Amino acid sequence: MSNKSVALLTIHGMGDTPKNYHKLFLERIKKQMGEKWKRVEFESIYYQDILQFNQSEIFRKMKVLTRWDGLREFVLYNLSDAATMDFRRWEKNSLYHQSQKRIWDTLKLIYKRYDEQKTPVVILAYSLGCHVLSNYIWDSQQKEASSGVWKHENIKKLDKNEKKFLQLKSMRKLITIGCNIPVFVSGYKDIKPFKKLNKNFQWINLYDKDDILGWPLKPLSEEYKDLVQDIDINANEKATDILLKSWNPLSHESYFGDRQVIKTVANALNEFIQ
C-alpha cells in the first residue's frame, strides 16, 4: 500500500525544453514542504522530444541561408510547437495524439501505484502545456472524441476506476502558469473550457501582466469565469530577475522558480497531507 497522500504532476511549455525542466521547481518545492514532501508522489510529463528532432533538422538546413541565428532558433522552436501541435490532429500518431499519449502514460504509472482511483491529483501546467492538458481533458469528456488518445487508444480495455483516473476525475487542483490558451481559442466565437472535473475541483491560473505569452482566462467566456481563478503575480526566480525579467516579456521564463508559484503548489498539496 502506498504511503503517499497526493500525486503531483508537471507538464512543460513550448521551446527547446530539457527533460529535467522541473529541476529548479523540485528543489524549491521540497525545501518549502520539508518532511511533508515524502507524502507526495511526483511525476513529470515530457513531450518535447516528439517535436524537437524535426525542428532541429529544419533549422540545420536553413541557418546557412539566414542571419540572426539565435533569434531565428528561438522563434522556430517556440512558435513551431504551437503551430504544429494541432496539425492533422485527428490522425493516429499525430503530434497532438503523441503529446496526449505522454499524459496518458504518466497517469497510468501513477494509477498503478495506488489501490484506488480517488487519490487526489494536483497538476502544475506551464505555457503550451496548459493547452495540451486542456485538450486532453476536453477530449476525455466527449462521448466520441474526434482526436487524440481518447479516439485512438483502446478505451474498452480500461476498467471503470482506471478510466476515471485517466479522465482526471480525481484532479483536485489545476495550477496553470504562463498559460497561453487564449492564443489557440481566440478565433472561435463560442469559447468554453472543459467541464468541472468534480465538485471540489479548483483551477488557479497564475500569470504575469508583463508576460506576453501568459494570459488571464476569466475574460474568455462566462464558463471560464465560473471555472477559473486568475491571479496576477510578478514572476521571478531570483533577485536579479526583478531588474532583468520580471517587468518585461522575459518573465515568461521565470514561473517555475517563482516564490508565489511554489507557495501556491505547496498549499495545494498540504491540503491532502495529514
Asked whether 111 and 53 are in contact (CB, 8 A), the reply is no
58 grid coordinates: 529544419
Tally the C-alpha atoms within 13 A of residue 199's C-alpha that lie toward its C-beta.
0
pTM: 0.86
Cell of 41: 508522489
pLDDT tens column, 120-151: 999 999 998 999 999 999 999 999 999 999 99
pLDDT of residue 242: 45
| Averaged pLDDT, 152-157 | 88
As a whole number of angstroms, the distance between CA 44 and CA 21 comes to: 9
Cα(84)–Cα(181) distance, rounded to whole angstroms?
15
Distance between CA atoms of residues 126 and 185, nearest Å: 17
How do residues 209-261 score in pLDDT, each as one tens digit? 888 888 999 999 999 999 999 999 987 655 444 444 444 445 667 788 899 99
Q: pLDDT at position 90, please?
A: 80
For 158, residues 6+ apart whose C-beta sits below 8 A from its C-beta are 166
204, pLDDT greater than 90 = yes
Segment 104-133 shows an average pLDDT of: 89
Q: What is the pLDDT of residue 235?
A: 79
Q: How far apart are alpha carbons 265 and 80 in whole angstroms?
A: 30
Residues paired with residue 229 on neighbouring β-strands, in sequence order: 204
Under DSSP, is residue 24 helix (H, G, I), strand (E, B) or coil? helix
Query: Which position has the grid cell 516564490?
Result: 259
Residue 95 confidence class, pLDDT cut points 50, 70, 90: confident
Collapse the DSSP code of 94 into the 3-class scheme (helix H, G, I; strand E, B; otherwise coil) and give the result.
coil
pLDDT of 40 over the 50 cut: yes
Domains in the chain, ordered, with CATH? 6-270 (3.40.50.1820)
Classify residue 20 by burial, with Cβ atoms within 10 Å: 0-12, 13-18, 19+.
exposed
d(C-alpha 106, C-alpha 131), whole Å: 17
- Average pLDDT on 61-76 reads 56
User: What's residue 61's pLDDT?
Assistant: 61
The pLDDT, as a whole number, for residue 244 is 43
